Structures are given as C-alpha cells and as structure tokens.
Amino acid sequence: MPLRAKVATSVSKTAAALSRAAGRGDGSVIGGWIGLKIDPELLSHLASGRAIALVSGTNGKTTTTRLAAAALGVLGPVATNSFGANMPTGHTSALAKAGATPFAVLEVDEHYLARVIDETQPRVVALLNLSRDQLDRAKEVAMMAQMWRTALAGHPDVAVVANADDPMVVWAARGASHITWFSAGQRWHDDSFVCPESGDPIERANGDWWCTGCPLRRPQAQWRVEDDGVIDPRGDWHLVKLQLPGTVNIGNAATALAVAAEFGVRAIEALPRLSTVASIAGRYAQVDRDGRNIRLLLAKNPASWLEAFDMAEQSPTLLSINARDPDGFDTSWLYDVDFSPLHNRPVLITGDRAYDLAVRLEVNGIPFRHVLSFEEAIRSVPPGRLEVIANYTAFQDIRAELDRVN
C-alpha cells in the first residue's frame, strides 16, 4: 500500500475510534470521510488483494450482507460494514478497521453501486431487488435499473448473483456474462408492471412473470426457497434455521448462500454460521423492559412494511414514522401500504409524522392511539410482547432509548 494510503488508513481508524469514544455514533462514516480526504483512492487501495462481494438493492441488503459475511467466515476473516454505513465512506472505514483480511462483504447503497464496483473490483455482485424508496430524492426505479445495467456492462468479469423474481433486477443483470439466479419471492409488484426493455405490460402467474411484448421473462432460478429451507443448484434441499423471523429472511439466507458458493463455500458448511446471527444493528432485536418483551422491526418503504407485517405477531404494535433527511421528506408512501394486517390488535402510533400515520390508519379503518413517547407506549400495553415497527430514524430513536441495542 502506498505511504499516503497507509497514513490515510491510520488517521481514518483514529478518527473512527475518537468518534466512538465521544459517543457520536459508531464512527463508521467519519473515519472513512477523513481517510478519503487524505487519499481519494483509499478505498481502491484498501480493497486491493481482497476477494470482495458487494450486496445492493432496495431492501434486505444489511441482513443479506451480514448473513453472507457469516457464510464466508468458513474460509477466513471477512471485513464487512455491518452497521449499515453503505456508502464509500462506510466501506473505507470498514476495510481500514478490519485490517488485512482475505475477504470482504460490503453492503452498497444502490446509487453508489457503479462507483464502488469501479473502486473495489469485486469478484461477486449480488442484486436483491429494486422498488420505490424515498422518491423525493432517490432515482426513480427505472433509472436505477439503467444505472446498474450500465455499471455491470463495464465489468464483464464480475460474477452476478441476481433475483430472478424482480423484472427490474433481471433486466439490469442481463448483460453480465456470469449470472447465478436466485428466487427469494417478491411480495411487492407495484414497481414492475411495465417492462423496462419494451414498455409493454408484464404479466404474472404462479410465481412466473413475462413481458407481453418482448422476450424478457423470468429466468430459471438455480437457488430457491422452498418451505423453511433452500434448494441449491444441484437440487438438494437444506433446512435453514435462523434466529431472524419471517420468510423474507429465508430468502436473504438463500441469497447469502448463493454469494458464498461463488467463493467455493458449500451450503452445508455455511448454514450453521447463518444460524448464529441474532440481530443486525438492532433489527429483530428483542429487549425486555418493565415486563414487556419489545421486538424491533425496521420498515423503510412499502415493500419492507409488507415484510414486517408478515413477521409481527398478533400482539400490541407500536408504529413510529419520521420524515427526516435519511427517511426522505415525503410520506406519500403510507398509502402504498395496506395496514389491514393490523386489524384486531391494539395499535399505538408515535414519531415526528404521527399525524400522517393517523390519517392513513383512519382511512384504512384501523383504530389507534397516539402516544407522545416510547415510554408512554410501554406503559400503555400489558406485559408481554410489544412489536415495534419503525422507519429509519424513528427506529434509531427507539434503539437509543434501549441503550443502542444491537
């Protein structure tokens, strides 16, 4: 590594440690930011010599990254940005902090995928899904798919692991020369009614999909979810035992196994490691407080709300919504979520934008009670399970009340 990169790495690690010591977050952004100021090519230097997998998509990337890193751990030490700091500053910080590891699995914000592919020269890129998320800022879905497609076309040597169920992902991945398809199921279809290739309607039936006007259609998946397990490319079924709830996480496990397989890890070796993952930066964490068992579920956009409802038990449920910068300032997406699964359970609402949620629930015919704090929410429910579903900064606020539970 050039001297400049060494200095930048050292300063980056020190800054991250200082930030942590000062109690200002986990230091995963500030350290990388300073390092990149000193050496703009620091990420390339830090990536060089490692076999790297990148994981990108609208939903599930933090969990899938964590599971893939656990699976690759079979082969040796793995660097990863497990705090969800998924832009180049976070990647730089994660690699600097990890020291020399033979492997890295990095979660990448979908807007930065092209740049991070250029800088890290990954062996594998996993593409999970593309759906609407923070549309007041994010590129709209079709534009994002085009950016991915262009990025991959420039790197024909990269092995792509991609979701066969998402037409936008399939179209974006099509140009790659080495593709492994997985099928993790997709509940959310509202962003892929129209073919990205021809503009014609996309038809769906029995898990299959095809364009009515051009040859684009669902490819055969080599990895797929069946019941509570995963079928590998040889057709063998493996039971997936996770501590994480929901069928969506079986799908994330299938993706992680497909990524690990590109590095030569067999499913049978990786599976015990997947079952050690209990929570990810507070997601799915369970905390006992005042006789209530509080479980934290993060839901950032319509697709992930549907997944959260699938995971949540029939118990009192607190919903919290903010619309700060990391969340996006627009709350219109609330009307893309059907809150009907919350019928017949006590519902509490809170957060900066509780009134938006109140109007939405009223229209949905769901009775609710507005509480002004997390403490009030706990006091308002009987002992037992309290499910908490919150969007990004609302989730971080509640996590802070629970001593930043991991």
**Segment 351 to 370, residues that bind another protein, using CB under 8 A:** 355-356, 358-360, 362-364
Strand locations in 150-206 (E): 159-163, 178-183, 202-205
13, 50, 123, 132: residue in contact with another protein (rule CB under 8 A): 132
Does residue number 193 form part of the binding site for another protein (CB under 8 A)? Answer: yes
171, 333, 339, 395: residue in contact with another protein (rule CB under 8 A): 333
Does residue number 325 form part of the binding site for another protein (CB under 8 A)? Answer: no
Give the 3-state secondary structure of residue 194.
strand
331, 350, 393, 396: residue in contact with another protein (rule CB under 8 A): 331
Strands lying side by side in the sheet with 369-370:
286-289, 292-298, 384-390, 317-320, 347-350, 369-370
| β-bridge mates for residue 390, sequence order | 298, 320
Q: How far is residue 47's CA from residue 120's CA, in Å, rounded to a whole number?
A: 5
CB of 372 to another protein, least distance (A): 13
Q: How far is residue 8's CA from residue 6's CA, in Å, rounded to a whole number?
A: 5
Q: How far is residue 54's CA from residue 120's CA, in Å, rounded to a whole number?
A: 9
DSSP state at residue 221:
P
CB of 147 to another protein, least distance (A): 14
Cα-based distances in Å from 213 to 140, 197, 201, 374: 23, 9, 7, 51
CB of 212 to another protein, least distance (A): 9
Q: How far is residue 160's CA from residue 351's CA, in Å, rounded to a whole number?
A: 39
Tokens of 317: 């449920």
201, 213, 291, 384: residue in contact with another protein (rule CB under 8 A): 201
Does residue number 336 form part of the binding site for another protein (CB under 8 A)? Answer: yes
> How do the residues of the chain divide into helix, strand and coil, expressed in percent and rounded to 5?
40, 20, 40
Does residue number 257 form part of the binding site for another protein (CB under 8 A)? Answer: no
Stretch that binds another protein, among 85-93, 131-139, 258-266, 285-293 (CB under 8 A): 131-139
Does residue number 326 form part of the binding site for another protein (CB under 8 A)? Answer: no
Does residue number 335 form part of the binding site for another protein (CB under 8 A)? Answer: yes
Does residue number 141 form part of the binding site for another protein (CB under 8 A)? Answer: yes
CB of 142 to another protein, least distance (A): 6
Please report, as ranges, the residues that interact with another protein according to CB under 8 A.
132, 135-137, 140-143, 190, 193-194, 199, 201, 329-336, 355-356, 358-360, 362-364
